[in-house]
Structure 1
């Protein structure tokens, strides 16, 4: 595996990335919370795009993987800035966004801010607004008090070790919500969601489907698929979804 390249963002963060050349709109993979660009889905899509001659970009948000900073320092807005810097600096023309979990939220934020840059969107267990509707809404009174008092709390996870959620992440997430106001997505959108996902519910996927305004938006529920959505059949479904949105943009 070659070493990553690095991008200095306008905010002074150092973002690690891999960029593969090709023809057509660049496929950009946006990973999940505390995930990195070496994950199964990102690497699989890179190999698949290379075989198809399509350009591909994967990168680590600040505080993730090989990029600068620590996770506890970051928030949704910081990672949106990282996403915008990576896409606007490293790609030209239209892009196809593939957002996994928190990356689904990031893809919606980028599409809302830069609608003319997006040719199509694929989400995988998208988690828009999760800091408000997932974390804050389910915190106990004791957790909310501890967050206000200490500025952070530790959260368990079904998919990784416990991690720190900061008051800054909650407060910043509240200013980045996408499911409260109109969400125009003027391109083809494919949403993939496993029914056995314990991190993001099918109700979240349906809420996004009902809320967004797109001329061609579809949700595929996959029975018994979990949040990772990275076994062989699921990877094939991601390939098909990317193929669909590229064809719709042609």
Structure 2
């Protein structure tokens, strides 16, 4: 794995690239105090989205370490999107955490990024490296979305398309380009399911979920809470919140939630 870097925006971030396997992963990193914040974006999102930018500015104001990256096939990273799986994006996220960040981190996972964050916790626990993840902020988290949110709604025709073509194409509400869900993504999703037992996080968890979310129903967040330890879990339901949670009031809630987690773990 290789690394290069150059100074980025006014946030004091260094923009660089990290080779993970045969893919070049783009990242931005700002040094600062602990705990650091690590951003994990959603499916087909990149690290320059509104929420990531707001968190970068917040971290800079507070003098906190901040790290974000694009998964392979996303944003400025290399690789083909259709080759991506939860396992691959998890491997890349762990590599960024291991090689770019320093000290305890609060993982901020949006949508699919919430699933990646929970899998990172599990993998770090297996290593006996529990102290590195100091907290979790999960925004409209979508753990196990392939099995829990997509599979039950697939029509017979869609299932046949996945089997015969190897992928499912779906109109996106957020892009002119359709969403692509591959057979490999569904199969790999089964191997990465987290809603099968207790998810021992060993850290405080805050979940923000919109009740007007058309992609991830708030019942999914309630189900996730059932799989987390009873203590140190906070769930905030936003009655008129959508999936993006990028309105000014949503962004304010996100920064206040991060600030609260920082205070808890310091």
Shorter chain as denominator, the TM-score bin is over 0.9
The alpha carbon displacement at 1:215 in A equals 2.5
CA distance in 2, matches of 1:185, 1:223: 27
Which residues in structure 2 correspond to 1:30-41 (within 5 Å)?
30-41=40-51
Q: Does 1:14 align with 2:24?
A: yes
Q: Corresponding residue for 2:158?
A: 143
- Partner secondary structure for residue 14 of structure 1: strand
- Partner secondary structure for residue 120 of structure 1: strand
The alpha carbon displacement at 1:21 in A equals 1.0
CA distance in 2, matches of 1:165, 1:24: 37
TM-score norm. by structure 1 comes to: 0.96
The alpha carbon displacement at 1:214 in A equals 5.1
CA distance in 2, matches of 1:78, 1:59: 14
Q: Does 1:120 align with 2:130?
A: no
2:110·2:140 contact (CA, 8 Å) conserved in 1? yes
For residues 78-136 of structure 1, what are the alpha-carbon distances to aligned partners after superposition, in whole Å with 9 as ceiling and x for unaligned? 10011101111101221100000000000000011114121000000000000111222
Q: Corresponding residue for 1:87?
A: 97
Residues 151-160 or 102-111, more deviating: 151-160
For residues 62-83 of structure 1, what are the alpha-carbon distances to aligned partners after superposition, in whole Å with 9 as ceiling and x for unaligned? 0000000121111111100111
Q: Does 1:130 align with 2:145?
A: yes
2:135·2:204 contact (CA, 8 Å) conserved in 1? yes
**Pairs aligned (count):** 249
Query: Unpaired runs of 5+ in structure 2?
Result: 1-7
Q: Does 1:217 align with 2:233?
A: yes
The alpha carbon displacement at 1:15 in A equals 0.6
Query: Unpaired runs of 5+ in structure 1?
Result: none
CA distance in 2, matches of 1:114, 1:214: 21
Q: Corresponding residue for 1:70?
A: 80
Provide closer, same or farther for how the CA distance between residues 56 and 214 of structure 1 changes in structure 2, counting only shifts above 3 A.
Answer: farther
